[in-house]
Chain A
Amino acid sequence: MTEPIATSVPTVTSPPVVVARGLTKTYDTGASQVHALAGVDVEFHRGAFTAIMGPSGSGKSTLMHCLAGLDTATSGTVHLGRTQITGLRDAELTQLRRDRIGFIFQSFNLLPMLTAEQNILLPSQIAKRAVDRQRFDHIIDVVGLRDRLSHLPAKLSGGQQQRVAVARALLNAPEVVYADEPTGNLDSRSGSEVLSFLRDSARDLDQTIVMVTHDPVAASYADRVVFLRDGRLVDEVTDPTAELVSARLLKLEA
């Protein structure tokens, strides 16, 4: 486990890809106000695989949505590279998502009427971008989907579906990939396959990945884990192990 440290050291010094400053998100539920995010400052560096953890209702999904421009923050700023994405209009956000961000969701990642290959190529088509066939072939081989490309999602197992989603997110080499509980619906073997693949791509392809999860085992694949509670960043662990993350999590819940 020394190698990961060796490679992750320079990434810490490299400029952050995503920077959030004083991020708040408040929901009005009639009588009371719920502070889903109560001032979050966080940075994600190039080539780093970061997990966001926290108990239910800690605001981890909201944080990811705000970082990805899927949701608008009440106050605070988010930068992706040099672009401040808070305050962008919907059309600009759409373009940003399409060109510079990749997504992996817990379930319902794929369009049921498109084949695996069509699903993988969809963002490029939306963006009218030429596909880098070499990168496509490389990714397909790494995720092991070569013989499944012409299948509809309904014919694929859960693990295969998630691997298609990962391939799709990585194909365009986006500046950052957001993964929302990517293994939540998978059995442990399929889950570890997907997570290994995410970790490897962060290292080998210098890919920035931010993953929301509540599973300590999943978080242990990351280079760094940040902990959220009641909308605030409360803790951080680098080079986590499942045991370490569980312990910290238990401490938070207490």
Chain B
Amino acid sequence: MLRTTLAGLRLHKSRYVTTVLAIVLGVMFVSGTMVFADTLNANYEESVMGSATAVDAIAVPPEQEQTGDPAAEPAEPARLTDDQLDHVRALPEVAGADGMVQGQAVLLDDEGRAFGYTPPAALALGEVTRFSPDEGSLPTDGTEIALATSTADQTGFGVGDTVTVLDADMEEREFTVSGLVNFGVDPAFTYGGALVLDPGTLEEMTGTTGYAEIDVVAAEGHTDEQVAEAVAGVLGSDAEVSTGEEFGLAMAEGAGADTEMLRTALLLFAFIAMFVAGIVIYNTFAILIAQRQRELALLRCVGATRAQVFRSVLAESVVVGLIASALGVLAGVGVGMAGAAVGGPLMGMDGGVPVVLTPVAILTGLVVGTVVTVCSALVPAIRATGVAPLAALRTSATSAGLEKGTGRVRVVFGLLAFAIAAAMVASTQISGPDQTGPFVVTGAALVAFVGVVVLGPLIVRGCVRLVGVPMRRVGVASMLAVDNSTRSPRRAATAMIALTVGATLITGYSVVSASVESTMTRQLDENFPIDYQITPQFTMEGTSAPDADTGPGEGAAEDVDAPPEAEGTEGAGGAEDTEGTEGTAPESGEGSVPAAAVEVVPDSVFEDLESEPTVAVVSGRRNAFVETEDGRFLSVNTYPGFDAEDLGLESTAGDLADLGPGKIALPEDDADGTGIGDAFALPLEDGTEVSLEVVALLDPMMSMGILLDEQDFTEAFPELTGNDAVMVRGTDDADPAELREAVYDAVDDHPTLQVASMAEMRGQLSEMMDIAFYTIAAMLGLAILIAVFGISNTMALSVLERTRESALLRALGLARGQLRRMLSLEAVLLCLIGAGVGIGLGVVFGWAAVEATLPNAMLSVPGAQIGVFIVIAVLAGLLASVLPGRRAAGTSITGALASE
């Protein structure tokens, strides 16, 4: 029996080409991801281990390495002292030890502005250190500086360049870059930037003393563990001591977590690709079984049992699956290597690291590919056992007639699925935006997809009937295409659904992406119609903290701080908060830095800007937090210089224009039941209260907290005299370049001030969204390619089935071109239905997801992108029909007519 199977496979191998290709692509994705992630991981591990194992023991103050988040570091980190270093050095197990001093210093870029949202870490390294320069040398005196390679890349500085660093008093000091240090995956240094100074100079510049880390080298004859133990004994609870290897492993784990996330994300797309491949395989086997009814019946006639027929089909799928998976693994290794070579450096990988091939990666590919193939062939195999021996005697080899209509059960089941999906979406709309929303919507989309699968044949027939009316008029080729495409609706539906998967996901994502972008752009435009925002650079050390005593603590500050951010007053930070999918970009540090660390924008800047002719409005922002009796924190704000209408806020009750001395506007949820005209008691931190008249209530989702008049704010918080942000709006006819110059002129004397242009911010936002979109589209592209193979395969097998028919048409005078056009149109029709259903689902569920997540979302359907999808669907159809069309048109008429 096996021999028959294999002989059959050899005979029909051309029928499996596209199926094999589909599996190969899916498996390639899976094993490519594994190889890429493994290689990346190994590389991280190597670079981390390389630096950490350069020393034998590492002691850090306990708080230091608790989290990998640079922003979460406490304002006043514990340090190790010289005494402690001396104790360590005195140990008999220790050959040498040195401390690393870590402070912060402002580095100016080539335009003279401060680099980064936070100043980079300023380090001083001793003789014994786990870091070594990648290029050049470490600074040896007060004229030299070494930069982190990441910082050098971002600023464009290289060895030999002169750079300017500001000291604690904001005095400029020039250094020559002597070397570059690769801090590898250490997030504290790589994201925020780092520079290395000579120890004396660092202390002089930043005033920092004490060590953030002590690196120890073991004396001869002592193991790392012994040294670490000894050091731990000396330092006691003042430090956490680990061996170099342990330290490296801990760091690698942190870096590895990123790799694992990447791996999971890629595998998710690989899963989608494999799912689509599974649909394609199922359809291929189903068609092949239908076409081979006679062959199978003959086997039954000569005595094969049902079980044998079943096994034969399964064996066939195992062979196909294994061969295709093996090819896929090979291709995957290639792709993984290419990925590591091209994508590696982007991920902070050193070049030239060998590709890691784990048995797991290879086995995963093989097993996934084979199992998916066999499972997909299971239903067709079961169907094959139903072939009666008598079928061999029938004249028609294949079911030349039309498939039976769609059963009533099917219709009911399908409609039920749609109803459930609709109910789920409706429930998210009623309950309003919350965290579970996206999950419910995803679940609804899955249920609706099941509905599409169940009703697929009906959908195909319905769509074809609709577009068939005009198409029939066009010409005989399109008329025949219309009729052909409904001949086996189930087959067509399965081929179409494979495409629907990809189309739904891409459209859904594009709707979400476009809606998020337009919602945020609108918020930027309407709520803060400003052109520039000037903020101080955040420092983590709190050198001056005028509002330190009002700060209600780190965690609460973040919570209360969140609403204003969501308004887009702080661009990038707001983007991340609202969208919540954009990972942890370094800029997000801004949002989580405690309010205590905020400096103010000097008043001179404010005054300079007010006198500029191109500037229409200059406004400050002052913010304070007060604690209510029941322990809630209220964000209190005033915007000196801004009129109420300039804020672009909409009140749900009352009128913001009434805001003035003695008045207050507050978010509904802070109002505690007070209405317009009522008095609101605002608690102050000295325990007293101030009573203000409520003039407006604000939508809590949109507001920036409580609004006070400047006068009341100053009375309530007399110590807060500086603006923590200054916002600038140009006159309507201002030349953008002039306005920009005016703003930069005003901050020229204050290099640490951060200037954010709303236009740039909008540009960055849309660029970021575009990159995310194209990345995801590229990932889903493979699933779509596989689906196109599936459609091509379905077409090819149908063409095979219709060989005689094609010959008849040719004999009746259909030109080769018309025959090809007929097939092209059929494929295009299929692709368009598949894409159309996908686009429909994508728009509906993309919209539902946006509505369920984003408050006050603005639905935006990206028409241009959807247009592109449709064009791609048409092209895919044309592509899918090329080979089948050639085959059909190339067949000799007489040969085809003669063959039974």
Contacts and interface: CB of A to CB of B under 8 A. Distances in A.
A114 B812 contact: no
B137 interface: no
Contacts of A90: 816
Interface stretch (A44-52, A102-110, A137-145, A230-238): A102-110
A126 B483 contact: no
B813 A112 contact: no
A91 interface: yes
Nearest to B808: A108
Contacts of B400: 112, 154
Nearest to A109: B808
Interface in B879-900: 892-894, 897-898
B347 interface: no
A65 B483 contact: no
Given A71-B894, A103-B812, A123-B812, A112 B487 contact: yes
A91 B487 CA distance: 29
A126 B812 contact: yes
A122 B472 CA distance: 12
Given A70-B894, A105-B808, A114 B483 contact: yes
Interface string A64-92: 01001011000000000000000000110
Interface string A108-123: 1101111000000011
Contacts of B484: 113
Interface in B838-852: none
A208 B392 CA distance: 40
B808 A127 contact: no
Contacts of B804: 108
B487 A98 contact: no
Given A105-B897, A113-B483, A113-B484, A94 B814 contact: yes
A53 B572 CA distance: 88
Interface string B788-828: 00000000000000001100111111111010000000000
A91 B889 CA distance: 12
Nearest to B898: A61
Contacts of A91: 815-816
B814 to A, nearest CB: 5
Given A95-B813, A113-B484, A126-B476, A152 B808 contact: no
Contacts of B475: 128
Contacts of B487: 112-113
By secondary structure, the B interface counts as helix
A21 to B, nearest CB: 21
A188 interface: no
A94 B815 contact: yes
Contacts of B479: 125
Contacts of A109: 808
A197 to B, nearest CB: 20
Which of A62, A98, A109 has the largest number of chain B CB atoms within 10 A?
A: A98
Contact of A70 (B483, B805, B811): B811
Interface string B462-506: 000000000000011001100110110000000000000000000
A128 B812 CA distance: 13
A97 B483 contact: no
B813 A70 contact: no
Nearest to A114: B483
Interface string B127-150: 000000000000000000000000
Which of B811, B814, B893 has the largest number of chain A CB atoms within 10 A?
A: B811
Contact of B812 (A97, A108, A180): A97
A127 B400 CA distance: 26
Contact of A99 (B476, B813, B815): B813
Contacts of A127: 813
A126 B808 contact: no
A114 B486 CA distance: 11
B402 A122 contact: no
Contacts of A114: 483
A70 B813 CA distance: 10
A176 B475 CA distance: 26
B814 A126 contact: yes
B813 A98 contact: yes
Interface string A134-165: 00000000000000000010100000000000
Given A70-B894, A152-B402, A97 B813 contact: yes
Contacts of B476: 122, 125-126, 128
Contacts of A126: 476, 809, 812-814, 818
Which of A95, A109, A113 has the largest number of chain B CB atoms within 10 A?
A: A113
Interface residues of A, number: 31
B886 to A, nearest CB: 14
Interface string A165-190: 00010000000000010000000000
B805 A123 contact: no
B829 to A, nearest CB: 14
Interface string B401-422: 1100000000000000000000
B808 A94 contact: no
A94 B897 contact: no
Given A108-B805, A112-B401, A122 B812 contact: yes
A91 B817 CA distance: 9
Interface in B364-418: 400-402
Given A61-B898, A111-B808, A113-B487, A123 B402 contact: no
A78 to B, nearest CB: 15
Contacts of B811: 68, 70, 97, 103, 105
A98 B813 CA distance: 4
Nearest to A62: B894
A105 B814 CA distance: 16
Contact of B894 (A65, A98, A122, A125): A65
A62 B809 CA distance: 19
B386 to A, nearest CB: 21
B210 to A, nearest CB: 86
Interface in B707-749: none
A171 to B, nearest CB: 11
A226 to B, nearest CB: 20
A112 B806 CA distance: 12
Contact of A113 (B402, B813, B815): B402
Contacts of B898: 61
A166 to B, nearest CB: 14
A131 to B, nearest CB: 13
A154 B487 CA distance: 13
Contacts of A125: 476, 479
Contacts of B816: 90-91, 94
Contacts of B809: 111, 126
Interface in B8-33: none
A128 B477 CA distance: 11
A155 to B, nearest CB: 10
A21 B15 CA distance: 43
Given A61-B898, A112-B487, A152-B402, A70 B893 contact: yes
Contacts of B805: 108, 111-112
A235 B892 CA distance: 31
Interface string B430-446: 00000000000000000
A90 B894 CA distance: 14
A249 to B, nearest CB: 22
A91 B892 CA distance: 14
Contact of B402 (A65, A70, A112): A112
Nearest to B482: A113
19 contacts: A62-B894, A65-B894, A70-B897, A71-B894, A94-B813, A95-B813, A98-B812, A98-B813, A103-B811, A105-B811, A112-B400, A112-B805, A113-B487, A114-B483, A126-B814, A126-B818, A128-B476, A154-B401, A168-B812
Given A70-B894, A126-B476, A154-B401, 11 more contacts: A68-B811, A71-B893, A94-B815, A95-B815, A108-B804, A113-B402, A114-B483, A123-B812, A126-B813, A126-B818, A152-B402
10 closest pairs, A vs B, by CB? A98-B813, A113-B483, A125-B476, A97-B813, A94-B815, A154-B401, A71-B894, A65-B894, A126-B476, A108-B804
